Amino acid sequence: MTGTERISPRFYVRDIPIYGDLILSPMAGFSDLPYRSICRELGSAISYTEFVPVNTISYQHKLTGRTLQRLRYKPEERPVAFQISGSSVESLVEAAKRIEALEPDIIDVNMGCPARRVYAGGAGAALLRDPAKIARIFRELTASVSIPVTGKIRLGWDAHHRNYMEVARAMEENGAALIAVHARTRDEDYSQPAAWEAIAEIKQGVSIPVIGNGDAITVADIERMLAETGCDAVMIGRGALGHPWIFQRLDRDQVPIEDKIAMIRRHLREMLGFYGNPLGLVLMRKHIPHYLKGYPNIRRLRYALLRCEDAETFHHLLDELAQLLSQ
């Protein structure tokens, strides 16, 4: 970050200055505190938590366990956005009021999750089928909490119901401070290209900041999305898995293997410190294929790392990997 960027925010989420144009996407199982804080350090401009179902917030006497763990953050991560997921106006408001006491900077509503287990209960992308309900959600939320309320959407439920402009206007007219847009419908998978023109249409149609999301895998993709859509920032999901350097505008092939292995070691330390042992190691293993993406002839070591059950052996395997790839 340059001195100019520190002085001049890229945009504001209501009254919160944002000093960058790249943001790690909230991803279940990946945007936890260990990885999220690494990406924030390397340039991600907002720290979004994994989404938290409101029923785990509203019906507990005290926030504990996995719920509280998802809402933990480091002070240096600010601005921090707590993302919540729910199906009813009342439950979303109750949850938001409760977690506001944990002092996040932003509360974000998940309206884009395409997972059946989420939308089957009326949460996530299911909300896109009812723009009037979305309007009530934002009207009630913005009246109930003192911090900005934002939302992440998709383009609609399916190709026959691409109602993203109606949803975006309902959000803005009822107090939303920012809209993040994954440029696919709920039923489109990654085999379909993201429709960036819809991001541009939303950006032109509202006066609040718009974050674009979808198919930003390389630095060239990032620059092209910014130029073609006019969005205020780019939210990166798949392109950031195992590659936190994307927030420094580096592509995967620009990062030396020595730096990648050093980051894997650091990431493991963060995971063990946050989750404990052995859970931290078990959860770390899913990151390995992403960090080592694109390297041929390492199948045996990759498999061994994915099956490894103790940290000391894990580090020995990394030593062996470093030696192999430096030849």
Pick one of 3.10.129.10, 2.40.37.10, 3.20.20.70, 1.10.20.10 as the CATH number of 3-252. Answer: 3.20.20.70
Tokens of 152: 């992440």
DSSP states of 146-206 as a string? SS-EEEEE-S-SSTT---HHHHHHHHHHTT-S-EEEESS-TT--TTSPP-HHHHHHHHHH-
Q: Give me the pLDDT at residue 4, please.
A: 41
Q: Which residue has the tokens 């999750």?
A: 113
113 catalytic residue (yes or no): yes
Q: Which residue has the tokens 């953050």?
A: 73
Q: Give me the pLDDT at residue 3, please.
A: 41
- Please provide residue 75's backbone torsions phi and psi, each rounded to the nearest 5 degrees: -55, -35
Q: Give me the pLDDT at residue 63, please.
A: 64
pLDDT in tens, 95-112: 999 999 999 999 999 999
Most distant CA atoms of the chain, gap in Å = 61
Tokens of 95: 């949850």
Q: Of the residues 39, 113, 231, 308, which is catalytic?
A: 113
| Cα-to-chain-centroid distance, residue 277 | 25
Domain boundaries, the chain: 3-252, 256-325
Topology at the third CATH level for domain 256-325? 1.10.1200
Q: Give me the pLDDT at residue 56, please.
A: 87
Per-residue pLDDT band at 88 (split at 50, 70, 90): very high
Check pLDDT > 60 for residue 5.
no
pLDDT above 70 covers what percent of the chain?
96
Rounded mean pLDDT, 140-164: 97
Tokens of 122: 């009326």
Q: Give me the pLDDT at residue 79, please.
A: 98
